[in-house]
Amino acid sequence: MARTVLKFGGTSVKDLDRIANVADIVAARAAKGEHLAVVVSAMAGETNKLVALAEGAAGEGMAREKFDDEYDVVVASGEQVTAGLLALALRKRGLKARSWLGWQLRLKTNASHGRARIAGFDDSKLPDSIDAGEIAVIAGFQGVTDDERVTTLGRGGSDTSAVAVAAALNAKVCDIYTDVDGVYTTDPRIVPKARRIDKISFEEMLELASLGAKVLQTRSVEMAMNHNVPVRVLSSFVKPGEESPGTLVCAEEEIVEKQVVSGVAYSRDEAKVTLYGMPDKPGVSAKIFSALAQAGINVDMIVQANARGPERANMVFTCTDRDSPFARETLEKLKDEIGFESMDVTRDVSKVSIVGVGMKSHTGVAETMFRALAEKNINIDVISTSEIKISVLIEASYTELAVRALHTAFGLDAE
């Protein structure tokens, strides 16, 4: 019998009643003869409490190299509690089950505490345990370094844990149970006519996740694509045994009918930084983005154009709104070295994007997008594109109007 990995997020295991519901879902799957590994997150709200405890114990001003490794020990305990509780709930139902922590799995990571990257698995007894019919309940979000220190993978890391386990086990599918019943064409809270997508490609899901869609964590989609692990997004709020078709995230070749545009995503956590009157010569951009990278600031959209003055250029880039004060501070320190004349930071902006593999072979997509925005009198500040996406930066107050207009313009509204 093929192995299957299930993953349950924080809202799915937020209390004992929800854990009991998860146990019923897992029991129904096991009754079909599936060999199961179940990855769990901490109970909703627990990680925030543990973070506050760690920061309170350390106080202000502690250096990261003294804080981060013990911080991981504290926050990883949330998933440990959930794994133990679910294993007990499964045993209550007469099933063989045991919990597994990151160090018992031998899920090896680098030593970047709080944001560790998975390096692979050492040999463990997990496959033999699952093949023998025991349900493995795995604490997500955590791993272990070569020197036996606990690490965590960053927010949303349980999704990444689940896909990594599925890849290591050669599982037929990784089912991500969450509080929604699949991936939608856009946020249903903004567009009530948004439709659930039956199948979506890894590439499309990766773009949507990175552009603001919060159903799956970006790193988990990236890992699924790299290891060709099919991922299904399902609702944990259905009754055990009840049909929940969800959304299958898979290779593009498995999708017969490709939409020109599959979804509309948005992000309000955006800021625009403009540098005026930079020297237009080699090496200036390298200095700017090297300094930002060293400060841990992730940059997204970048546009450079000639300024009015001779041998001068203006540059616009975006970063997260929460990073914008640090970007300003970092660049102000380099003003004399870089030689720009002035800087402006605009924080009241949003990024709205369309995504679809069908854009590779269809013309007129940009024209449709820009016309739909123009008809709503929405001005575009910055544009960036890739093979399967177009993103625009607009005034934040127009976010919902833009999303609705684009959703309709590309025929995504439900009948």
The beta strands (E) that lie in 165-284 are given as 174-178, 199-201, 231-235, 247-250, 263-279
Per-residue pLDDT, 302:
93
Helix axes 46-58, 64-75, angle to 10 degrees: 150
The Cα 336–Cα 342 span in angstroms is 11
**Within a 10 A sphere around the Cβ of 318, how many other Cβ atoms?**
27
**Tokens at 166, concatenated:** 């599925």
Helix axes 46-58, 77-92, angle to 10 degrees: 140
Nearest Cα to Cα of residue 46 among 21, 9, 20: 9
Find out whether 161 and 123 touch, Cβ atoms under 8 Å. no
Q: What pLDDT does residue 1 have? A: 66
Please tell me the predicted confidence (pLDDT) of residue 411: 93
- Nearest alpha carbon to residue 7 among 164, 207, 209: 164
Burial of residue 117 (CB within 10 Å: 0-12, 13-18, 19+) is middle
E-strand stretches of 284-411:
299-306, 312-319, 342-355, 382-386, 389-395
Residues 331 and 273 sit within 8 Å (Cβ to Cβ): yes
pLDDT at 238: 81
Residues 6+ apart with CB under 8 A from 16: 85
pLDDT per residue rounded down to tens, the chain (415 residues) = 689 999 999 999 999 999 999 999 999 999 999 999 999 999 999 999 999 999 999 998 898 889 999 999 999 999 999 999 999 999 999 999 999 999 999 999 999 998 899 998 887 789 999 999 999 999 999 999 999 999 999 878 899 999 999 999 999 999 999 988 999 999 999 999 999 999 999 999 999 988 877 788 889 999 999 999 999 999 988 877 677 789 999 998 888 777 899 999 999 989 999 999 999 899 999 999 999 999 889 999 999 888 777 789 999 999 999 999 999 999 999 999 999 999 999 999 999 999 999 888 888 999 999 999 999 999 999 999 999 999 999 999 999 999 999 999 999 997 6
**pLDDT tens digits, one per residue of 79-110:** 999 999 999 999 999 999 999 999 999 999 99
Q: What is the DSSP letter of 41?
A: -
CA dist., res. 391 & res. 210, Å (int): 12
Torsion of CA 108, 151, 7, 203, to 10 degrees: -70
pTM, rounded to two decimals: 0.86
Q: What pLDDT was estimated at residue 221?
A: 94
The pLDDT value given to residue 92: 98
Alpha-carbon span 327 to 293, nearest angstrom: 10
> What are the tens digits of pLDDT across the range 15-46?
999 999 999 999 999 999 999 999 999 999 99
| Cα distances (Å, whole numbers) of residue 176 to 156, 218, 366, 401 | 12, 14, 33, 31
- Say if CB 43 and CB 13 are below 8 A apart: yes
